[in-house]
Amino acid sequence: MIDDTLLEAMDKMDKAVEHTQTQFGTVRTGRANPGLVERINVDYYGAPVPILQLASISVPEARQLLIKPHDRTSLEAIEKAIRESDLGVNPNNDGIAIRLSLPQLTEERRKEYVKVAKNMAEDGRIVLRNLRRDARKAMEAEEKDGDVSEDELERAEKELDKTTSEHVDRIDAALHRKEEELLEI
């Protein structure tokens, strides 16, 4: 029973780390990355739809994104959504596709993005700590019910702490890579 709780916690922690790494992809660096716009929601026939579902996104040059909608009628809605987003990029609509030219980041803007990435990492760590707390409560409840001994509970808690620490280290490593990427000129 305790092993099931540990496995479930590990699985959820893996997903939390993956989510945090995905969030890092939305932070703009000096290079073009489709992850910057994939999650921007477009008002498409009255419903919010991510750009990724409405268009193909490619990187023709290091500092440029090309967004080709599957349906040309959505072109203006996509353009409007990009303008309203916090990307700070002005889209160029040529009637067929939208080009986003990403300007060079200033030192000040890079530092702001590092702070954003650190906040995302901290959110990921909080999720991991909450998962650890929930798993620990479940294991303690099993011990109170008499399903497991105190020794088994102690072993499982050590294993849970070790797993949590490993996942926090993965988030920290991803944050470190993102910081290097952001501060690279």
What pLDDT, in 10s, does the model give residues 39-78?
Answer: 789 998 889 999 989 999 999 988 889 999 998 888 999 9
Q: Could you tell me if 97 and 42 lie in one domain?
A: yes
What pLDDT, in 10s, does the model give residues 136-149?
Answer: 999 898 888 888 88
Q: Could you tell me if 39 and 66 lie in one domain?
A: yes
Q: Could you tell me if 10 and 39 lie in one domain?
A: no
What pLDDT, in 10s, does the model give residues 124-137?
Answer: 999 999 999 999 99
Q: Could you tell me if 18 and 57 lie in one domain?
A: no
Return the amino acid letter for 16. A
Count of domains for the chain = 2
Of 101, 118, 142, the residue that ends a domain is: 101
Domain holding 8, by residue range, is 2-25+106-183
Q: Could you tell me if 156 and 126 lie in one domain?
A: yes
* Residue 63 · residue 101 · CB < 8 Å: yes
Q: Could you tell me if 57 and 84 lie in one domain?
A: yes
Going by their DSSP bridges, the two strands 41-44 and 91-93 should be labelled as unpaired
Q: Could you tell me if 47 and 88 lie in one domain?
A: yes
DSSP single-letter state for residue 120:
H
* Residue 27 · residue 182 · CB < 8 Å: yes
* Residue 129 · residue 137 · CB < 8 Å: no
Which residues does 35 contact at the CB level (< 8 Å), separation at least 6? 22, 25, 26
Of 101, 120, 144, the residue that ends a domain is: 101
CATH of the domain at 69: 3.30.1360.40
Task: Give pLDDT, residue 185.
Answer: 64
* Residue 26 · residue 180 · CB < 8 Å: no
